[in-house]
Amino acid sequence: MNRIDRLTAMLIQLQTKKLITAQEIANHFDISLRTVYRDVRALEEAGVPIGAEAGKGYFIMDGYHLPPVMFSEEEANALVLGAKLIEGQTDKSIKEHFSGAMLKIKSVLKSAQKDGLEKLEEQIRVNQPPIQVDDQFPNNFMATIQKAMVEQKVLQFKYYSNHSGDMTERQVEPMGLVYYGSSWHLLAYCLLRQGPRDFRVDRLVKLEITDCHFEPREPYEEFIKRLTYGGELEEVIVQIKGEAARYIVNQKYYQGFVSEQKKGDAVEMKFLVPHLGYFSRWLAMLGDSVTIVSPDRLLTIMQKRVEELRRNYE
């Protein structure tokens, strides 16, 4: 990237946050801190009102506006791909907001770029497996959850437990949204259970933001760590041998896959699962290629599952 392009990109980066450190800029462009200082001086000499807080970082003064942002052909094409993913993997509230954003983006594109985008939109699709939607679950809350996270407001809703079949009233402090197992999950501190919990967004009912403000009880990464080891999800570790490890390279992500490491001729995999019984049925299809490391309760469940199969086909 030549210096002119870098200065333009740096100016755009400075607009993305209230305050950006010199180290963030250096990391983003893979340049030295000394080069960052020179580039910032160059922008200031060009009339860009850049402010600085000692020991914290740089910011652009309020009231300064750039001309409309122009996109390269590759950037515009990437937006189409992102739009298709959002269309297939988010709820109605997010789709509506992103659709409005895409209209604004398209308004600053050149005519040739607009034609290219229309062609790509017809040629790219995200095929999702059909999902059975229950009328009692509106699945239209992600925008509201995002708003609550930004404003640090307590959420209240009714939550359906697929395992017990119960519907419970919850008030939670929202901490994050995570997509895994073909579903979006709200990670939050539950005031009812007095601990971190994982809630599937498509099982929420009557969700609304309360007037109660909260301060995060701990940093996000620490919260996720506590959720991993103290929430409603249960940790499972298995070793999968030979060809089977390659066969499930995509399937594992639908079962709560977390990490893996090579162990001799096997791959040891860690999962976080909401229900051991359901997970055992998936595990059964791998036959004798699997060794259960933990928990012991899963081994007991698998023994029962094998006995059920033996009786069924005897």
Q: pLDDT by residue (tens digit) across 169-180?
A: 999 999 988 887
Cis peptide before 295 (omega within 30 of 0): yes
Q: Which of 104, 183, 177 is closest to 143 using CA atoms?
A: 177
93 pLDDT band, cuts 50/70/90, is confident
129 pLDDT band, cuts 50/70/90, is low
Share of the chain above pLDDT 70, in %: 90
**Amino acid making up residue 190:** C
Model pTM score = 0.56
- Strand, coil or helix: 174: strand
Q: Which of 144, 150, 194 is closest to 171 using CA atoms?
A: 194
**Amino acid making up residue 242:** G
CB 154 within 8 A of CB 173: yes
What angle separates helix 3-14 from helix 22-29, to the nearest 10 degrees? 130
**pLDDT value for 173:** 95
Measured CA angle at 21 (ends 23, 43), to 5 deg: 100
**pLDDT over 70 at 139, yes or no:** no
Count of CA atoms in the C-beta half-sphere (13 A) of 142:
21
- Residues 275-295, mean pLDDT to the nearest whole number: 90
| Pairing, β 167-180 against β 183-190 | antiparallel
- DSSP conformation class of 61: P
**pLDDT value for 225:** 67
Helices (H), the chain: 3-14, 22-29, 33-45, 73-89, 92-107, 111-123, 142-151, 220-230, 242-247, 276-284, 296-313
**pLDDT value for 119:** 81
Rounded-to-integer distance, Cα 169 and Cα 156, Å = 7
Residue found by looking up tokens 């922008």 in the block: 43
Residue found by looking up tokens 């909260």 in the block: 214
Q: Which two tokens stand for residue 242?
A: 């030979």
